[in-house]
């Protein structure tokens, strides 16, 4: 049985490279590609791939939020994050969202092939460098430590925050999310209150720091 794979990265050259390498492998087929998080979620629901290889820093909806939505709709899907971020915050957020694997973009293809086989067998795969970072971070931080994180926000509030940080107007966000302008304004106000942030500029800085958007 062939493994159906969805590739999600906002850089076409990355998708092209991955497609060329993966399709040389036995029983692996790229069924679709996506260049933003929202399209990734849509195609995942439509095509029900066995595996999704996804970047974290994508426009419209980042890889972490996309993973949360995909797992909610298709819990059997296996997700591997392929990212330039080695910070433990990004790794932990991706794993908490439901990803079964996390690799850095400078990994060799042989490692990705190993990760694919590992997650399809029901196990979790972390790049060796990532595994060390996660363990070190877990030992340094107390679980009781209170910080302002995206966990305090609802899924829709995180979506609105990313779109605001990417420079979308309230009207454009309302159209994109198919809600009223008043609803978007309410979400923005609630986000600012929860995070104790008082300007869109501050929100943007916070969103970049927390990995909601990279603003590349």
Q: Which CATH number covers residue 88?
A: 3.40.50.2300
Q: How many domains does the chain have?
A: 2
Range of the domain at 115: 3-140
Q: What is the mean pLDDT of the chain?
A: 86
Same domain, 75 and 124: yes
- Pairing relation of β-strands 3-8 and 51-54? parallel
Same domain, 30 and 130: yes
Same domain, 132 and 36: yes
Whether 216 is covered by a domain: the verdict is no
Whether 145 is covered by a domain: the verdict is no
Residue 37 has pLDDT above 80, yes or no: yes
pLDDT cut 90: percent of the chain above it: 44
Whether 89 is covered by a domain: the verdict is yes
Whether 129 is covered by a domain: the verdict is yes
Whether 162 is covered by a domain: the verdict is yes
> Who contacts 123 (Cβ-Cβ below 8 Å, separation ≥6)?
100
Same domain, 85 and 181: no
Same domain, 69 and 155: no
Same domain, 97 and 10: yes
pTM strictly above 0.85 = no
pLDDT tens profile 166-179: 878 889 899 989 99
């Amino acid at each position: 049985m062939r493994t159906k794979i969805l590739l999600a990265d906002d850089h076409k050259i990355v998708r092209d490279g991955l497609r060329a390498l993966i399709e040389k492998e036995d029983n692996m087929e790229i069924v679709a590609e996506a260049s933003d998080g929202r399209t990734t979620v849509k195609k995942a629901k439509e095509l029900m791939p066995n595996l999704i290889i996804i970047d974290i820093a994508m426009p419209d909806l980042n890889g972490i939020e996309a993973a949360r939505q995909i797992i909610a709709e298709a819990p059997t899907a296996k997700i591997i994050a392929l990212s330039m971020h080695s910070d433990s915050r990004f790794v932990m957020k991706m794993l908490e969202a439901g990803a079964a694997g996390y690799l850095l973009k400078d990994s060799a293809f042989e490692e990705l092939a190993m990760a694919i086989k590992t997650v399809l067998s029901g196990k979790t795969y972390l790049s060796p460098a990532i595994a060390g970072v996660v363990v070190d971070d877990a030992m340094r931080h107390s679980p009781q430590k209170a910080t302002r994180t995206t966990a305090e926000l609802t899924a829709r509030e995180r979506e609105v925050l990313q779109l605001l940080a990417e420079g979308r107007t309230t009207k454009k966000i309302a159209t994109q999310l198919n809600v009223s302008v008043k609803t978007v304004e309410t979400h923005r106000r609630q986000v600012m209150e929860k995070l104790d942030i008082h300007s869109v500029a501050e929100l943007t800085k916070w969103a970049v720091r927390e990995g909601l958007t990279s603003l590349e």
